[in-house]
């Protein structure tokens, strides 16, 4: 009696089908998350949070609207990610630039120039940072951590000048760091349309180091 050979091919066929399942579905988009964050940061800076539509972010990033929601869940979480990533990139740029700065004034100018340049044409994006409680709770904690690292970076530059005897040591350097950051926030918020970036940078650094009195 001749046995049927059908069963011999069943297992291999099933294995081939199972193995082929992983090949189905959409192909991953290179740098998807970074592209969405970059586009969102630009739009939030140009128009402000309320005016930006998720469709616009997707269009500028060259992805589907569904990809935005799959990555971030909501526009609020996307905004939070853009804020946090912006601070992280800015801090990295400042740290790298400080390596070639040789004087206290040059170090402070480096910090102020990078921070002011980053936010100069992102005025609406900057204004939203005044109220971090608008961020989802988890992202608010991450934002405060990033901002805290920025303040500590400024404070470390001031402390180094104090230890070297180039700056008064009776000052609270953490408070001084907040003062410098506050000056930058104030100029960004209240600057006139005719205010030039270079003039703003020189004014902030000069006032912070030397005050308003004649030298």
Alpha-carbon distance of 169 to 148, in angstroms, equals: 22
Instruction: Tell me how far apart the alpha carbons of residues 204 and 182 are, in angstroms, rounded to a whole number.
Output: 10
Question: Measuring CA to CA, which residue among 45, 184, 47, 37 is closest to residue 114?
Answer: 184
pLDDT of residue 146: 87
- Nearest CA-CA partner of 114 in 88, 90, 149: 90
Supply φ then ψ for residue 77, to 5 degrees.
-70, -35
pLDDT at position 13 is: 47
pTM (2 decimals)? 0.76
Domain boundaries, the chain: 29-210
**pLDDT given at position 134:** 66
User: How confident is the model at residue 29, as a pLDDT?
Assistant: 66
As a residue count, the chain comes to 215
pLDDT at 24: 55
Q: For position 192, what pLDDT does the model report?
A: 87
Mean pLDDT in runs of 10 for the chain (215 residues)?
A: 50 47 57 91 83 93 92 88 87 94 95 93 63 72 87 95 93 95 90 92 95 80
Question: What's the CATH number for 29-210?
Answer: 1.10.357.10
pLDDT at 48: 76
H helices present in the chain, as ranges: 6-20, 32-47, 54-61, 65-72, 75-98, 104-120, 123-128, 137-163, 173-190, 197-210
Contact 61, 36 (CB under 8 A): yes
């Amino acid at each position: 009696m001749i046995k049927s050979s059908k069963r011999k091919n069943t297992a291999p066929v099933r294995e081939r089908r199972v193995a082929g399942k992983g090949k189905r579905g959409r192909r991953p988009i290179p740098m998807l998350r970074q592209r969405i964050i970059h586009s969102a940061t630009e739009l939030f800076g140009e128009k402000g949070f309320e005016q930006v539509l998720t469709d616009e972010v997707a269009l500028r990033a060259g992805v589907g609207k569904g990809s935005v929601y799959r990555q971030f869940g909501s526009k609020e979480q996307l905004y939070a990610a853009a804020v946090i990533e912006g601070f992280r990139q800015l801090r990295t740029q400042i740290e790298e630039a400080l390596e070639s700065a040789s004087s206290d004034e040059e170090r402070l100018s480096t910090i102020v120039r990078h921070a002011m340049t980053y936010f100069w044409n992102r005025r609406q994006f900057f204004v939203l940072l005044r109220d971090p409680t608008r961020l989802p709770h988890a992202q608010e904690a991450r934002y405060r951590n990033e901002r805290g690292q920025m303040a500590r970076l400024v404070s470390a530059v001031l402390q180094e000048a104090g230890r070297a005897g180039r700056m008064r040591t009776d000052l609270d350097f953490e408070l001084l760091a907040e003062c410098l950051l506050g000056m930058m926030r104030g100029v960004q918020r209240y600057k006139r349309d005719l205010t030039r970036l270079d003039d703003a940078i020189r004014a902030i650094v000069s006032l912070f180091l030397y005050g308003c009195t004649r030298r």
